Amino acid sequence: MQSKAHTFTANARAALADEPLQAALARFQGGFPVKRRAAIDRLPEFDALRDAGKAIKDATLANLDIYLEQFEAKVIAAGGHVHWCEDADAARQTVIDLCREAGAKTITKAKSMIGEEIAINEALAAAGFTPIETDLGEYIIQLRDEAPSHIIVPAVHLSKEQVAESFRAHHRDLPAERPLSEPRAMLDEARAILRQAFLTADVGITGANMLIAETGSTVLVTNEGNADLTQTLPRMQIVIASIEKVVPTLEDAATVLRLLARSATGQELSVYTTFTTGPKRGDDLDGPAAFHVILLDNGRSRMLGGPFAEMLRCIRCGACLNHCPVYSAVGGHAYGWVYPGPMGSVLTPNLIGLAGTSDLPNASTLCGRCEEVCPMRIPLPRMLRQLRRDAFASGGGPKPMRAGLAAWAFVAGRPWLYRLATGVGVRILGLLGRRHGRFRRLPGASGWTAVRDLPAPAGRTFQALWTERNGARR
Amino acid sequence: MTAAADAARAAMLARIQGALGRSAPSEEQRRRVLQRCVAPSANLIPARGRENDRIAQFIAEAERVNATTGRLAGWSAVPAAVAETLSAAGLPPRLRMVDDARLASLAWPADLAVATGKAVDGDRASLAVAFAGIAETGTVMLLSSPSSPATLNFLPEMHIVILPEQAIVGAYEDAWANLRTALGAGVMPRVVNWITGPSRTADIEQTLLLGAHGPRLLHILLLAEA
């Protein structure tokens, strides 16, 4: 997928003016955070489990090579194959070669963010295959030729009317006058169509929430059951996973699972948690004859050992998106690439480079909620600040912004000058705004006043008041 | 493995090792790290995984996520309970079930068509036997095998699961420990399914709907004597 992160400002502005999108975001807002809170209230050890989860990931990343090789050995021992892919190109080519080897035509797919990252559907279609997304949300956006706008609820930006419209446009074999006003009717229609896809698919492609070194198992969680049908019915299963997904043991997976669904949807556990080890065995009546795991690097080994290594603990729960005021205002598409929200604003520059993505770390108020809710305690605000520093140091950003920041740094670095400048400024603004208590327009600050009033300062700076109060207390 | 694939593998491992500030690990280092996998130990187990009345907890948690439950005295009560469950759900008296001697020897009603084997399109109800029930989240754990194909858990619209009460454990970790005891350390069935309620989706306007691609109904029959 071609990144549109470089036009974030314009994307965001368009998103704010997009009424159906704003209605969808309003519907979405609050739902998951409230459910998450309720789930955590039922689990007093949640914070301690976060520490345990973080410790598992840190211990694994500290010996990532050893755990990956152990995972590989176990997959091979179970009769499966492991393919190490350095970048998206290599992963795409490997998947295409495997599908050719399987003589595939139809390929079912269960939602995978790695699949989005390597744009596997486009590559498969270009190679002459028919990939069919089976997660309901992914199926909807595939029909609409859109990218997911959320990492766990990909079609969250759409209304049921928009979904119905897409179903009518694509399901041309069905009676045109059929009722499609309710989600139930749309689900039943999709279920019937996708059931045929499951039964006829030659290859099933899934992602993985975890890889287990102890057993060579891949772990997949879903609520719909689509991933299980995707992986059980075709004659070949391909699992696409990035290297940081490995955990040492089944017990470690259990700890992460206690965090994942609660953080994501507020469920205690997703409906289906599936541990898969190798292909169909001797007398098995179902399951794929061939089992392949793609291990994707695509920039992650470069992150290891650097200032963004902790990002590799991410379990893709989406809690940081659900709690982000910026994501809630503009939705996922504005971020311009695969991963939106705070985690995306850290991951995207790391995976595809800071040039052309440097607006993303600025698309944050640094309010800190993302770090507060992150089950893996990833210091997202610190990383966003680091990326801002990196972008400034490499000469990124528009000239007026750079000049403004340089002027600010000059003043802020000299306390006497800062006190003088803010003292004078606040006094003048206080005098000017005395009458109304706020400014509806202010020269040089139109970016602020175009959309909201600027409260008039009281006439004295915070520093002055602080000194006075502390002096009085003493 | 082709030369190119070999090179990619070597390059990825070398980059990881470079980032970790060390070269390829010695056998001794490897052995020490992998001790964690050889002798797996539990991390923090929350108190809800250690409740005294696991059966009551299991039932309450399973019902919270829209599963239904029934309690039976033993295996001989299964056929009547299954027939009644199908009829109450308005399903035809046909059942695809796991190939299990304890089920095969039961007296099935003449008007209930029972077959074994993998699930096929058109099967509307299935019957499987759980390896464990996990009380902390009301989860049933099923193992795939030639006699217990994984498709039984997903294709039909009603999934009936038999769960011996003695197989109910408190926490996920207990289920893993029992699996290692049953199959041997490090041995996994091809598929282990943890199932917590019936299939669902909320992908259209966050409207929760049961029965997305998997079963719309999950009915768990707890057996007192197994």
Q: Which of A126, A158, A124, A123 is nearest to A139 (CA)?
A: A158
The tens digit of pLDDT for each residue in A40-94 reads 999 999 999 999 999 999 999 999 999 999 999 999 999 999 999 999 999 999 9
Residue B115: partners with Cβ closer than 8 Å, 6 or more residues away: B94, B95, B96, B97
The tens digit of pLDDT for each residue in A412-448 reads 999 999 999 999 989 998 888 888 888 888 888 888 8
Which residue in B44, B137, B188 is closest to A52 by CB distance?
B44
A-chain CB neighbours of B36 within 8 Å are: 59, 248-249
Cα(A161)–Cα(B60) distance, integer angstroms: 37
Mean pLDDT of all residues in B91-99: 97
B4 confidence band (pLDDT: 50, 70, 90)? confident
Residue B192: partners with Cβ closer than 8 Å, 6 or more residues away: A217, A274, A275, B141, B142, B143, B144, B179
Cα(A269)–Cα(A275) distance, integer angstroms: 14
A474 confidence band (pLDDT: 50, 70, 90)? low
pLDDT of residue B1: 59
Residue A108: partners with Cβ closer than 8 Å, 6 or more residues away: A131, A132, A134, A197, A198, A201, A203, A204, A205, A229, A230, A233, A234
Residue A409 Cα, gap to closest chain B Cα (Å): 33
Q: Which of B200, B204, B209, B218 is the best mutation test for A, with the most CBs of A within 10 A?
A: B204
Cα(B37)–Cα(A248) distance, integer angstroms: 6
The tens digit of pLDDT for each residue in A198-257 reads 999 999 999 999 999 999 999 999 999 999 999 999 999 999 999 999 999 999 999 999
pLDDT of residue B221: 98
Cα(A440)–Cα(A451) distance, integer angstroms: 9
Q: Which residues pair with A402 in a beta bridge?
A: none
Q: Which residue of B has its CA nearest to A249?
A: B37
Cα(A70)–Cα(A55) distance, integer angstroms: 20
CA triplet A221, A72, A116: central angle to 5 degrees? 45
Q: Which residue of A has its CA nearest to B202?
A: A153
A-chain CB neighbours of B17 within 8 Å are: 65
Residue where the block lists tokens 């290859």: A203
The tens digit of pLDDT for each residue in A177-202 reads 999 999 999 999 999 999 999 999 99
A397 confidence band (pLDDT: 50, 70, 90)? confident
The tens digit of pLDDT for each residue in B125-174 reads 999 999 999 999 999 999 999 999 999 999 999 999 999 999 999 999 99
Query: Pairing state of beta strands B132-134 and B139-143?
Result: antiparallel
Cα(B132)–Cα(B161) distance, integer angstroms: 11
Residue A395: partners with Cβ closer than 8 Å, 6 or more residues away: A402
pLDDT of residue A322: 97
B-chain CB neighbours of A248 within 8 Å are: 36-37, 40
Identify whether the C-beta of residue B37 lies closer than 8 Å to the C-beta of residue A248. yes
Q: Is A442 helix (H, G, I), strand (E, B) or coil?
A: coil
pLDDT higher than 70, residue A14: yes
pLDDT higher than 90, residue A390: yes
Structure tokens at A138: 């992914």
Structure tokens at A474: 């003493």
pLDDT of residue A258: 98
The tens digit of pLDDT for each residue in A254-271 reads 999 999 999 999 999 999
Identify whether the C-beta of residue A47 lies closer than 8 Å to the C-beta of residue A374. no
Q: Which of B89, B65, B11 is nearest to A84 (CA)?
A: B11
pLDDT of residue A30: 79
pLDDT of residue A472: 65
ipTM of the predicted assembly exceeds 0.85: yes
Which residue in B189, B194, B212 is closest to A225 by CB distance?
B212
Residue A230: partners with Cβ closer than 8 Å, 6 or more residues away: A108, A109, A110, A134, A198, A201, A204, A205, A206, A237
Mean pLDDT of all residues in A322-343: 97
Residue B207 Cα, gap to closest chain A Cα (Å): 7
Residue A444 vs residues A12, A447, A449: alpha-carbon distances, Å = 22, 8, 10
A341 confidence band (pLDDT: 50, 70, 90)? very high
Least confident of A406-415, A431-440, B33-42: A431-440
Structure tokens at A70: 């152990």
Least confident of A238-252, A369-383, A449-463, B70-84: A449-463
Mean pLDDT of all residues in A5-32: 94
Q: Which of A32, A49, A65, A302 is the best mutation test for B, with the most CBs of B within 10 A?
A: A65
Mean pLDDT of all residues in B173-183: 97
Average pLDDT, chain A: 95
Burial of B6 (0-12, 13-18, 19+ CB in 10 A): exposed
pLDDT of residue A473: 66
Q: Which of B61, B60, B98, B62 is nearest to B78 (CA)?
A: B98
